[in-house]
Amino acid sequence: MGLKHSIRAITDLKTKTAELVRGAARGQTYVITQNGEAKAVLMDVAIYDEWKHGLGLVRLLSLAATDVAKGRVVSNSEAKRRFRTAAKRHHGR
């Protein structure tokens, strides 16, 4: 199914809810429109969870890229040393 079949009016959601939910469960994503304007997305929960997890990873990568660009980096050996020091403090050694 192409994008043309993925755009549905809110009235379709009201009258064909079960059909759209079955489609979402099979991997179809629907853009729900109201008065001709995109307002919501209907998708499978597992796909949404994967998408949300991926978005979190992209945010972390963006933060890391900013740190590198601003020179906020340490060597691998320094990072290990800091980790060991923090771990000792945390475990009371």
* Tokens (6 digits) for 13: 């959601």
Report the chain's mean pLDDT, rounded to a whole number.
92
Give dist(CA 91, CA 48) in Å, integer.
38
Q: pTM to 2 decimals?
A: 0.64
Kindly state the average pLDDT of the residues 17-38: 96
Band of pLDDT at residue 3, cut at 50, 70 and 90: low
Q: Where in the chain is the domain with CATH 3.40.1620?
A: 3-43
Nearest to 42 by CA among 84, 14, 73: 14
CATH code for the part of the protein at 3-43: 3.40.1620
Strands (E), 12-75: 30-34, 37-42
Averaged over 15-35, what is the pLDDT? 96
